[in-house]
Structure 1
Amino acid sequence: MELATFAGGCFWCMEPPYDKLPGVEKITVGYIGGQTINPTYKEVCTGTTGHTEAVQLEFDPDIISYEALLDVFWKNINPTQLNGQFYDLGTQYRTGIFYHSAEQKVQAEKSKKNLEASKKFANPIVTEITEATQFFPAEEMHQKYFKKSPEHYKRYSVGSGRVEFKNATWGSGN
C-alpha cells in the first residue's frame, strides 16, 4: 500500500471522486501543510494554522497507478484559482499535491506540465507540488460526509460552482 495526498479545496468534495475506484482502499479527510499540531476544523477554517483541507488515500499501486489518481485530482479542481476553490476562499482551500516519494514528485510535476501543455486552461496553473508533511485526520463528522449528509453535500457541491465547472471543463461524464 502507498499513500497519496491531495488538496482540492473543500475536502468533502474530494472524497467522492476516489470513493469507488478499484485499488483505493481508504480515504481520510484532514489537514496538511500547516504549523499547528492536531488542528481542529474550526481552527483550520480561520486560515491561521497554515493547513489546507486535503484527502489522504491509501492505495494499491498494483491495482491503480499514482498517475491515474493524479488524473482524477486534476479533473476535480480548478488548478488556476489561487488560495481557494470555487466559493471557498483562503489558503486553507488552496490546491496542492503532497508527494510521499521522489517518484511521486516526478509524476506530479510531469502531470502538471502535461496539463499546462494541453492549453486546457487560459490562466496559469497555480496548484502547489510539495513534500508531504504531517497529516492530521479531520474530526469524525467530516469523514465520508457525502454519505452521512447526502442532501447537504449535494447542495454544497452544486452551489459552490464545482459541479458546473467540472462539467463545463471536462464534460458531465468525468
Structure 2
Amino acid sequence: MNNEKAVFAGGCFWCMVKPFDRYDGVHSVVSGYTGGFTVNPTYNEVCSEKTGHYEAVEITFNPDVISYQELLNIFWKQIDPTDGGGQFYDRGHSYQTAIFYQNDRQKKLAEKSKEELTRSGQFNKPIVTEILPAKPFYPAEEYHQNYYQKNPAHYERYQKGSGRADFIKQNWEV
C-alpha cells in the first residue's frame, strides 16, 4: 500500500479530526503540533504561543482511494479561510490555518486550490490560509486524540458554541 500524509492546521484540532475520519482511504487522523521550533511540545506550551507551533492534524491516506485534492476540498470546508487571527472562538498563532505540503506536487495542488477559492468569489475578504513546507509533526497528548469520539457531548457543544458549526452551514453547505 502506498500511503501518503497530509497535514492541515484548521484551528482547534478537535474539530479537524471528524471531517476526515469518515472517508474511505483515510487510515488515521492524528491531532498534534507542527510548524514551530520546540521539540515535542505539550499542549500547554503550544497554548502559551511561545513554540511557533500550530494545532494541526496529520492524515495518513491511500491516494488510490482518496486523493490529496479531495482532502484539500474537505479542509477548506472546515475553516474560515479569511481569518488571520485564529479560528472562531480560538485566537492566536497556534489556531491559525495552514496547509503543510509534503512535496512539490502537494504544494502545487494546495496553491491551485487556494487560487480557485480566491477566484470563486465565495468570500469578500482575502484568503489568508498559508501554504507552508512540512516541518516535524508531534502528536498531541492522548486525551486529545479522537476527541469527538471520547467526548461527543462536549465536542458538539464546542463545535456549535465556537461558531464553527454555524459558519460551515452558512458558507459551505449552501
Given the two structures, how large is their TM-score scaled by the length of structure 2?
0.98
Partner amino acid for 1:55?
V
1:75-128 CA deviation, whole Å, 9 max, x = no partner?
000000003000100000000000001000000000000000000000000000
The whole-number CA distance in structure 1 between the counterparts of 2:38 and 2:29 is: 22
**Which residue number in structure 2 is paired with residue 54 of structure 1?**
56
The whole-number CA distance in structure 2 between the counterparts of 1:27 and 1:74 is: 16
Alignment of 1:153-164 (within 5 A): 153-164=155-166
The whole-number CA distance in structure 2 between the counterparts of 1:15 and 1:2 is: 17
The whole-number CA distance in structure 2 between the counterparts of 1:26 and 1:171 is: 25
The whole-number CA distance in structure 2 between the counterparts of 1:137 and 1:71 is: 24
Unaligned runs of 5+ in 2: none
RMSD (Å) for aligned C-alpha atoms: 0.7
**Which residue number in structure 2 is paired with residue 85 of structure 1?**
87
**Which residue number in structure 1 is paired with residue 143 of structure 2?**
141
Partner amino acid for 2:134?
A
The structural deviation recorded for 1:19 is 0.8
**Which residue number in structure 2 is paired with residue 24 of structure 1?**
26
Given the two structures, how large is their TM-score scaled by the length of structure 1?
0.98
The whole-number CA distance in structure 2 between the counterparts of 1:101 and 1:36 is: 23
CA contact (8 A) 1:83 1:92 kept: no
Q: Secondary structure, in 3 states, of the residue corresponding to 2:40?
A: coil
1:32-57 CA deviation, whole Å, 9 max, x = no partner?
00110000001101111100000000
CA contact (8 A) 1:9 1:53 kept: yes
Give aligned-pair identity as a percent. 55
The structural deviation recorded for 1:171 is 1.6
Partner amino acid for 1:166?
I
The whole-number CA distance in structure 1 between the counterparts of 2:127 and 2:172 is: 16
The structural deviation recorded for 1:170 is 1.3
Deviating beyond 3 angstroms after TM superposition, the runs of 4 or more aligned structure 1 residues are none
User: How many pairs does the alignment contain?
Assistant: 172
Unaligned runs of 5+ in 1: none
